[in-house]
A = this chain, B = another copy of it.
Amino acid sequence: MRNCFICFIILFFASLNLHAEDGHDLWLRTKSTGIVDIVCEKSSSTLNIAIQELKQCWRGESGTTLTLTVKPNILIVDDGFKISPGEIQANTDLGILYGVYELLRRQQTGEQIKEEIFNPSYERRLLNHWDNLDGSIERGYAGLSIFWRKGKDSLIVTGEDKKLWEEYARANASIGINGTVLNNVNASPNMLTSEIINRAKEVADVLRPFGIKIYLSVKFSSPSLIGGLKTSDPLNPEVTKWWNAKVKEIYNLIPDFGGFLVKANSEGQPGPQDFGRTHADGANMMADALKPNGGIVMWRAFVYETSGGDRAKQAYSEFMPLDGQFRDNVIIQVKNGPVDFQPREPFSPLFGAMKKTSVMPELQITQEYLGHSIHLVFLSTMWEEFLQSETYQQGKGSTVARCTDGSVYPQKYTAIAGVSNIGLDANWCGHHFAQANWYAFGRLAWNNSLSSEQIAVEWIKLTFCQTAENFDKIKDPLLVEWDLNFLKPVKQMILESREAAVNYMMPLGLHHIFAPDHHYGPGPWWAPKGVRKDWTPPYYHQADTNGIGFDRTQTGSNAVSQYHEPLNSKFNDLKTCPEIYLLWFHHLPWNYKMKSGRSLWDELCYYYDIGLQQVRQFQKVWDKIQPYVDSQRFVEVQSKLRNQCSNAHEWKDACLLYFQQFSRQPIPYEIERPVHDLEYLIEIDMKRH
């Protein structure tokens, strides 16, 4: 099948095809190179899209006949599909569309096409947009919202809006995403005003043929804020009535509306606890309102209070007692780690622990804590690490993936959400390589056992192999050259990139030592008086002259106890605790001897330095592939990498110089010295801040 791999070798047509390229086409660059005969007995807007995609992008043998068959098959689940040479079969029209995208992807990437069934891991695969109604995006680094905008024309739906939403829908459908939350979890009550719901309906209408349902984030206090009620108490009949009516209003406009996403009693957001009720009371009230129309409630478990002790324990402490009290159309949406989307965290102990409640993972695609749209960080490896984490809740094999996708527990609904990194930037994501994270999220949501390597290879081939009008001219030797000189080094780079970010930001289990607010650069020193302690880095790194790290062992906060054995003991015991989580679970003296034989202080220095060296290596990799990529994307990525390198240098210098005040030991002299003074780094942090 090697010659099916129709990647266009740039060098071959360098002078002809190296045009400026803004990245807007994402991983969807195929142009048809032959004719396909499509047999399809049924017709629908979704099937029409499938047929159109086949015609536009067909890369198989010209003249092939392909049959699209919608008929029940017990082996096919939901919108899954079966591909055979000559046929795509599915239970649903959407299944056919997904099958078409899979077939085309295989044609483009040179993967084998044989009889095979593809079923989704999760029933609901959602993007969460933290988009505000004024068009700004919380933690957005790629321009303003594609859904909302400020100003007097904010409610007008233009042709451009629809074109963009359709492109958005197509991109999502091509990787299996079937739901999207249109607004920020820190929700404006205005989301539920009729005029805003009406705009959401317009979005839903564009997304529907691509199989994407819309969902809305709602503010728990909406009944009192916009409904004119005196309370938003979930047990108050007026409140229930208000929500029922609101839900009805929505379904009248959007008959396939997906449901609500709720951030309640979290970081200042209102919630049922404001009225003496539980999270279950609040979630169930909404779930009851949604149930008649098949809607669901995604209720976030991201809760913590200064008074609640170790922040990493609080979601578990608060939600575990409620296990079994939620309606079956409530899903508890849990961030992957117990704190907050850090470069590395152990998995949240709620996964697998809530046995009588549906639980869905929330991943963050937008790089709030991973260098925004400046750093090249491929998050797939982080998510793979998370999904494959053993919870041991039902013995070996109870990975997070299997505990959430229905394999271990019989959940009525399964779902996974990713906080979107999409904005109005021409390339959608700010960084060309941030597109890979959108892609990877979709692919993992569809198949949570995919390897990051496979996803990387797919994405690189689809994104950087130019579409070829004359692909038949391509010779194998050139393919081999492209594989060797582009695919291989770029793949290696992106697969290594998240570990590099961990190394230069917070290795060995360090976490949340970011500068405040922007969460971009380092801020281990930041702890002004009067600020919540659990919002300051010293709360997390606990560095002093004795040592560093958060003691979460049995003699510390005992967060380890929230993990099922043997993890509890493994994390608790220095001999068995993985060094990647060392300072997450342990407070250790600076001279603590690491497995490498080095002291903890020296090891920390080495990790920060290695991280910086890795980014420098990425720069070399990228510069070397220049002949194989269009100039615009080359230059834009090159510039971002330079910026990333400078920032990695700041991270290294800031953390080493700051912690050195406590370790009182020299940075090992083999290591390149800091080039910034600590005072300067604190100053620029404040300026950014």
The smallest C-beta distance from A465 to any residue of chain B, in angstroms, reads 22
Residues on B with C-beta less than 8 A from A192 are none
Query: How many of chain A's residues touch chain B, expressed as a range?
Result: 20 to 34
The smallest C-beta distance from A389 to any residue of chain B, in angstroms, reads 35
Which single member of B626, B643, B674, B677 contacts A666 (CB below 8 Å)? Answer: B626
Most buried by B among A619, A642, A649, A666: A642
Number of copies: 2
Q: Is A672 an interface residue (CB 8 A)?
A: yes
Q: Flag if B675 contacts A620 (CB, 8 Å).
A: no
Residues on B with C-beta less than 8 A from A676 are 642, 646
A649 to B626, CA, bound (A): 23
The smallest C-beta distance from A655 to any residue of chain B, in angstroms, reads 16
The smallest C-beta distance from A543 to any residue of chain B, in angstroms, reads 21
Q: Is A639 an interface residue (CB 8 A)?
A: yes
Residues on B with C-beta less than 8 A from A672 are 616, 619-620
A667 to B673, CA, bound (A): 24
Q: Flag if B642 contacts A673 (CB, 8 Å).
A: yes
The smallest C-beta distance from A614 to any residue of chain B, in angstroms, reads 13
CB closest residue in chain B, given A670: B620
Q: Is A624 an interface residue (CB 8 A)?
A: yes
A669 to B617, CA, bound (A): 10
Residues on B with C-beta less than 8 A from A649 are 675
Residues on B with C-beta less than 8 A from A639 are 677
CB closest residue in chain B, given A674: B642
From 571 to 624 in chain A, residues with beta carbon under 8 angstroms from any chain B beta carbon are 616, 619-620, 623-624
Q: Is A645 an interface residue (CB 8 A)?
A: yes
Residues on B with C-beta less than 8 A from A623 are 666-667, 669, 673
Residues on B with C-beta less than 8 A from A667 are 623
The smallest C-beta distance from A493 to any residue of chain B, in angstroms, reads 13
Residues on B with C-beta less than 8 A from A645 are 673, 675
Q: Flag if B616 contacts A669 (CB, 8 Å).
A: no
Residues on B with C-beta less than 8 A from A626 are 666
The smallest C-beta distance from A123 to any residue of chain B, in angstroms, reads 46
Q: Flag if B642 contacts A675 (CB, 8 Å).
A: yes
Residues on B with C-beta less than 8 A from A642 are 673-677
Residues on B with C-beta less than 8 A from A674 are 642
A666 to B645, CA, bound (A): 19
A461 to B626, CA, bound (A): 52
Which single member of B624, B643, B669 contacts A669 (CB below 8 Å)? Answer: B624
CB closest residue in chain B, given A622: B673
From 640 to 679 in chain A, residues with beta carbon under 8 angstroms from any chain B beta carbon are 641-643, 645-646, 649, 666-667, 669, 672-677
A623 to B673, CA, bound (A): 8
A673 to B614, CA, bound (A): 12
Residues on B with C-beta less than 8 A from A620 are 669, 672-673
Most buried by B among A626, A639, A641, A673: A673
Residues on B with C-beta less than 8 A from A669 are 620, 623-624
A403 to B677, CA, bound (A): 47
From 432 to 451 in chain A, residues with beta carbon under 8 angstroms from any chain B beta carbon are none
Most buried by B among A643, A649, A675: A675
Q: Flag if B673 contacts A619 (CB, 8 Å).
A: yes
Residues on B with C-beta less than 8 A from A677 are 639, 642
Residues on B with C-beta less than 8 A from A616 are 672-673
The smallest C-beta distance from A678 to any residue of chain B, in angstroms, reads 10
The smallest C-beta distance from A396 to any residue of chain B, in angstroms, reads 45
The smallest C-beta distance from A651 to any residue of chain B, in angstroms, reads 13
A634 to B672, CA, bound (A): 18
Residues on B with C-beta less than 8 A from A624 are 669
From 168 to 211 in chain A, residues with beta carbon under 8 angstroms from any chain B beta carbon are none
A643 to B653, CA, bound (A): 13
A673 to B623, CA, bound (A): 8
A417 to B646, CA, bound (A): 42
CB closest residue in chain B, given A672: B616
The smallest C-beta distance from A174 to any residue of chain B, in angstroms, reads 33
A623 to B660, CA, bound (A): 13
A667 to B638, CA, bound (A): 13
A-B contact sample (15 more), CB < 8 A, given A620-B673, A646-B675, A646-B676: A619-B675, A620-B672, A623-B669, A623-B673, A624-B669, A626-B666, A639-B677, A641-B673, A642-B674, A642-B676, A642-B677, A643-B675, A645-B673, A645-B675, A649-B675
Q: What residues make up the interface of A, taking CB atoms closer than 8 Å to B? A: 616, 619-620, 623-624, 626, 639, 641-643, 645-646, 649, 666-667, 669, 672-677
A-B contact pairs, 6 of them (CB 8 A): A619-B675, A623-B667, A623-B673, A641-B673, A645-B673, A646-B676
Q: Closest 3 interchain pairs by CB?
A: A619-B673, A645-B675, A642-B675
